[in-house]
Amino acid sequence: MTMLRSLRISTGQMPRPIFARWALVAVLAMGAAPALAGAPLSLSLKMGPQDELRSIRYSCNDGTELNVQYINIGANALAMIRLAGDDLIFVNVISGSGARYVSGAREWWTKGAEATLRNEATGAGPVTCSDMAEASSKG
């Protein structure tokens, strides 16, 4: 398994890292040579005029605060979340309502200013979160 060391977004100029502190993990296809272990990789996505990068801070009912980075570029819709010291990439999947993202057994589901985090592997109840900027503008 080789680690993806950075995510690069291009705006037509040289690609540049968007989140220097994120060490993103990607699994390569079978047959990766042991000599490649630890080799840096990057993913470049070219931003168009309709694409967006945004960061939202959530306050959750378990007392945690989550900073979620949303990347919407072309057909790619991703959410990057640090959970329990791990940086996770969630990928947008079909949802009947709101925006639903998954990363392994975890699910991040947003609708408006509210979000729910579930971990199907643990079977624990969902954690509900609220956009802190939305909450402060209403209060």
CATH number for position 62: 2.40.128.200
Is 129 in the same domain as 61? yes
Is 94 in the same domain as 133? yes
Is 134 in the same domain as 124? yes
Distance CA 3, CA 127 (A): 29
Question: Could you list the residue range(s) of the whole structural domain that residue 92 is in?
Answer: 49-139
Residue with tokens 């490649």: 36
Residue at which a domain ends, from 10, 25, 47: 47
pLDDT recorded at residue 20 = 31
Is 39 in the same domain as 60? no
The answer to whether 8 and 44 are in contact (CB under 8 A) is yes
Q: What is the pTM of this model?
A: 0.71
Is 117 in the same domain as 74? yes
Per-residue CA distances from 107 to 45, 70, 82, 118 (Å):
24, 15, 13, 5
- Cα angle for residues 134, 126, 100 (degrees, 5° grid): 65
Is 38 in the same domain as 98? no
Task: Count structural domains, the chain.
Answer: 2
Is 21 in the same domain as 59? no
pLDDT recorded at residue 59 = 98
Going residue by residue through the chain, which has 139 residues, state the pLDDT in tens, using 9 for 90 and above. 333 444 555 444 433 344 333 333 333 334 445 666 677 767 788 899 999 999 999 999 999 999 999 999 999 999 999 998 989 999 999 998 999 999 999 999 999 999 999 999 998 999 999 999 987 776 5
pLDDT recorded at residue 72 = 95
pLDDT recorded at residue 16 = 38
Is 107 in the same domain as 122? yes
Query: In terms of DSSP H, where are the helices of 1-139?
Result: 132-138
Pairing of strands 42-46, 6-10: parallel
